[in-house]
Structure 1
Amino acid sequence: MTRTAWVFPGQGSQAVGMGADIFDHPAAKQKLAQAEQILGWSVPEVCQSEDDKVSNTLYTQPCLYVVEAILVDLMQERGHQPNLVAGHSLGEYVALYTANVFDFESGLHLVKRRSELMSHASDGMMAALIGFDREQLEQQIQQTSDVVLANDNNAGQVVISGTPEAVEAVLSQVKAKRAVKLNVSGAFHSPLMADAAVEFQPVLESVAFQPAQVPVLSNVDPSPATDAAVLKERLQQQMTGSVRWREISLRLPEEGIDRVIEVGPGKVLTGLIKRTCPTLTLETVGSLADLPN
């Protein structure tokens, strides 16, 4: 019997026009109304705004959460259920929603506050490296203060995060096929987000977590968990901790998973997983047309 994992993308997967065909679906109407009440703005309007408003962190995170949560609802309505869930950074919130750890509105309140705190974070920098010597990179990070490995996506693709000086220092010392400075407001997934994490804690504490209905692989700890307190603790650590996506990918076959569905816009996660676990069957569900029967 096929065992399936659902994975949920985070920031970087958004695109103008995403979700267009699901917004008119009757099942989406209630969620969109709830979202507008919580956010004070319309998710469909932002997603379809030609000025790429959807790529501003303040809007990106809530829009991805809402679009992905609606896709989850539509999949579950058709009788589909995952055996395991995981999400990349912001995507972890959708994974927890899917596993019934919290309801849609509670998750959106968390995501709204997270996006506000992250959009106000400054004095930091992030850069992606593709095709590099991992040993050389790890050594350089150890020797440089104020920089960390923020996203370990797969063997050939990572993101470093820290102060601009520290990130520049590492980039100048490590040979890579490609190094790209990311257009973000702060040093996400690094200790420089400690103040934001402290501000986020009371909001997180105010939301009741339930035991997960299916195991969740968290960004900061890729071992399966269903315990509500453990999942909340891991989410608290996520803002300053690394996204260990390479280890999450490796864990999937270990847990008997043979099929992975990326639920959300784009194909970023299936692209990353393909390089780490080429034997897995990979699918994407980003629109109504992609929904399995």
Structure 2
Amino acid sequence: MTKTAWVFPGQGSQTQGMGMDLIEVAQDKFKQAEEILGWSIIQRCQGDEETLSRTLYTQPCLYTIEAILVDLLKDKGKNADFVAGHSLGEYVALYAANVYDFATGLNLVKMRSQFMDQAQGGKMVALMKFNREILEKTIENTENVVLANDNSDGQVVISGEPNAVDEVVEAVKAKLAVPLKVSGAFHSPLMAIAAAEFAKVLDEAEFKDAQIPVLANVDPNPSIDGQEIKERLKQQMTGGVRWREIMAQMPSLGVQEVIEIGPGKVLTGLFKRSVKDVSLVNINGLENL
């Protein structure tokens, strides 16, 4: 029997107009989201790109739209054997695994986006096509910079204090280095204050044992234990996204099909270049449901 993994993209995958084909079939969810957030997902997704790309709005919009797609898939009798999400996408993965309900997840994402939107003083740069040994040694020998997103063998994001990030970029000499439009050094120790505040919010939320094993950003080994999943999530804001390892785990778990649920094709693109003999599917709206 084919085993399937559902994966959920995070910040950076958002596009203007995303989710607008879902308005008629998910009116209740959009209304519930507006009551929780105090603003309209529909209006933000139909608005200008700059506003939508602000962390404060991007994260709740992605969570809501991806959660609606999960609902529609489950309504069709579909389910997954494993789930994983990239950064913000991990919150949708936990919703898909029934760790918490929609409102609990959105309230967490709301607070997370506020803490991260307020972060300042850091820098993130995506690197493509580089010598990994040189990268790892340079980071090891440079203070205040970390490997934030280990996306694949040939694509990573480094994060930290701006001068330290620039030093690493200069030393590694990647074929392509792209500064990210973010307010702070996400997934690095510079987020420690925000992470400590957010941990208090997480402590108040009820996490049930997962009905589908979850591969976490900070620990790619599958888990269904609700408390363990929460502790892993607490580490996520300052810890790295170990996506390369998550992808490498899939064949050993017997996964033969990976479905990316959400806008864009970032995660299936990474799988295509990194994992052989896995069929890839994208679900970003009603048309391909």
Indicate the RMSD between aligned Cα atoms, in angstroms: 0.6
Cα deviation digits, residues 111-166 of structure 1 (max 9, x gap): 00000000000000000000000000001001100000000000000000000010
Q: Which residue of 2 aligns with 1:237?
A: 235
* 3-state SS of 2:28 partner: helix
Q: Which residue of 1 aligns with 2:48?
A: 50
Q: Which residue of 2 aligns with 1:178?
A: 176
Supply the AA of the counterpart residue of 1:17.
Answer: G
Q: Which residue of 2 aligns with 1:284?
A: 282
Q: Which residue of 2 aligns with 1:148?
A: 146
Cα distance in 2 between the residues matched to 1:54 and 1:252: 32
* 3-state SS of 1:159 partner: strand
Q: Which residue of 2 aligns with 1:130?
A: 128
Cα deviation digits, residues 25-49 of structure 1 (max 9, x gap): 1xx1111111001100000110010
1:248-259 to 2 correspondences below 5 Å: 248-259=246-257
Q: Which residue of 2 aligns with 1:165?
A: 163
Q: CA deviation at 1:202?
A: 1.3
Q: Are 1:152 and 1:242, in contact at CA under 8 Å, matched by a contact in 2?
A: yes
Cα deviation digits, residues 41-72 of structure 1 (max 9, x gap): 00011001034421110000000000000000
Cα distance in 2 between the residues matched to 1:183 and 1:55: 9
Instruction: Please give the TM-score of this superposition, normalised by the length of structure 1.
Output: 0.98
Is 1:114 matched up with 2:112?
yes
The ranges of structure 1 where at least 4 consecutive aligned residues each deviate by more than 4 angstroms after the TM superposition are none
Q: Which residue of 2 aligns with 1:16?
A: 16
Q: Are 2:145 and 2:159, in contact at CA under 8 Å, matched by a contact in 1?
A: yes
Aligned residues: 289
Alignment CA distance shift 1:84-1:174 (3 Å):
same
Q: Which residue of 1 aligns with 2:197?
A: 199
Cα distance in 1 between the residues matched to 2:105 and 2:9: 16
Cα distance in 2 between the residues matched to 1:181 and 1:108: 28
Cα deviation digits, residues 168-199 of structure 1 (max 9, x gap): 01011112110011110000000000000011
Q: Are 2:15 and 2:49, in contact at CA under 8 Å, matched by a contact in 1?
A: no
Percent of aligned pairs sharing the same letter: 60
180-189 vs 51-60, greater mean Cα deviation: 51-60
Q: Are 1:16 and 1:52, in contact at CA under 8 Å, matched by a contact in 2?
A: no
Q: Which residue of 2 aligns with 1:31?
A: 29
Cα distance in 2 between the residues matched to 1:52 and 1:82: 34
- Unaligned segments of structure 2, at least 5 residues: none
Q: Are 1:47 and 1:53, in contact at CA under 8 Å, matched by a contact in 2?
A: no
1-10 vs 271-280, greater mean Cα deviation: 271-280
Cα deviation digits, residues 90-121 of structure 1 (max 9, x gap): 00000000000000000000000000000000
- Unaligned segments of structure 1, at least 5 residues: none
Is 1:68 matched up with 2:66?
yes
* 3-state SS of 1:158 partner: strand
* 3-state SS of 1:149 partner: strand
Q: 220, 223, 228: which one pairs with 2:226?
A: 228
Q: CA deviation at 1:278?
A: 2.6
